[in-house]
Structure 1
């Protein structure tokens, strides 16, 4: 499966070189990407659009595709006793997938939802692995991206271990300030592991302190 047609905006097409540029720039930050890899991506990456509120992945499905966000915000969440728990947030120039499901090609317990209209680039699991085999240097890119996302996962785990709500929110502002005014407070509270009421109180305190400075 090359690309899921997610809504009426979508068209199954390869990106132009200009449309691929943001992805190439991101990859080159980790390790130089040669012309061969660039041409492979032009032939095997597809463009996808998804409307706000729609799903890329649902609990019980297999994550067949890896996504690069050109525009918009995605969130990952799980459900527990009819409660949604936001596990991660991703925005422009970041990768997204149900990573365990994608790597193992097994059913996921995760959901991935667009919380803004999104423009994405996507590559299929099998095409990604063919690229690793055809271009061994791309394994370095894959390793460094995996390391980066492991560090991000550790940061998220650190937030959940904090008991102080103000410290949680301060940490969020330090590392996710670019999302502070783009993501619904309900999702931010869930991500931090606090109630919406507690988050509102913490935000009010933070705002008051800034005014007094």
Structure 2
């Protein structure tokens, strides 16, 4: 369902999700403003990292942005698979690598002081193929720029 909350801040997220179709974002609220921290689409995995791996309340909200269909693995099943299936350890290693790469990209993106250069970095290194699908306000929030600035920069790119 579009705009459905998969997990809200303060809840325990004990599932690791795989997106079959759709788009999901993570965000938190600061001073009444929603700040998007990530956006995932088809064939990507998401969860609340502290919720899933530490059984702690998640710090962010996870919300679908489109009609979204996911498969999921509950934490206890995840642990069982790691302990009983060697191929799951290989999958886990790949997932860990992907999470670290994406985290590194987000940290780098957040440190670029110029909005135009942040957008360029996103378009060149991250997920340019989904720019037209992401609601502008969420992409602007993710890039830490005003929606008007994002619109202007996107027009200049064409």
Regarding TM over 0.5, the answer is yes
3-state SS, counterpart of residue 121 of structure 2: helix
1:116 aligns with 2:79: no
Structure number with greater Rg is 1
Question: 128, 137, 142: which one pairs with 1:177?
Answer: 128
Q: Counterpart in 2 of 1:92? A: 42
Question: 57, 72, 78: which one pairs with 1:128?
Answer: 78
1:204 aligns with 2:149: no
Q: Counterpart in 1 of 2:93? A: 143
Q: Which consecutive residues of structure 2, in runs of 5 or more, have no partner in the other structure?
A: none
Q: Counterpart in 2 of 1:79? A: 29
Q: Separation in 2 of the partners of 1:140 and 1:149?
A: 14
Q: Separation in 1 of the partners of 2:65 and 2:11?
A: 20
Per the TM alignment, residue 204 of structure 1 is displaced from its structure 2 partner at its CA by 2.0
3-state SS, counterpart of residue 138 of structure 1: helix
Q: Which consecutive residues of structure 1, in runs of 5 or more, have no partner in the other structure?
A: 1-50, 208-213
Per the TM alignment, residue 136 of structure 1 is displaced from its structure 2 partner at its CA by 3.1
Q: Separation in 1 of the partners of 2:105 and 2:134?
A: 19
RMSD: 1.0
Q: Counterpart in 2 of 1:59? A: 9
Q: Separation in 1 of the partners of 2:148 and 2:110?
A: 17
Deviations 1:128-176 (A, max 9, x none): 1011111134212202211111111110111110011111111222221
Q: Separation in 2 of the partners of 1:64 and 1:138?
A: 18
Q: How many residues align?
A: 157
Between the two structures, name the one with larger relative contact order (CA 8 Å, sep ≥ 6).
2
Q: Which is strand-richer, 1 or 2?
A: 2
Runs of 4+ in 1 over 3 A off after TM superposition: none
Q: Separation in 2 of the partners of 1:133 and 1:164?
A: 46
3-state SS, counterpart of residue 181 of structure 1: coil
3-state SS, counterpart of residue 85 of structure 1: strand
3-state SS, counterpart of residue 108 of structure 1: coil
Q: Separation in 2 of the partners of 1:152 and 1:135?
A: 26
Per the TM alignment, residue 101 of structure 1 is displaced from its structure 2 partner at its CA by 1.4
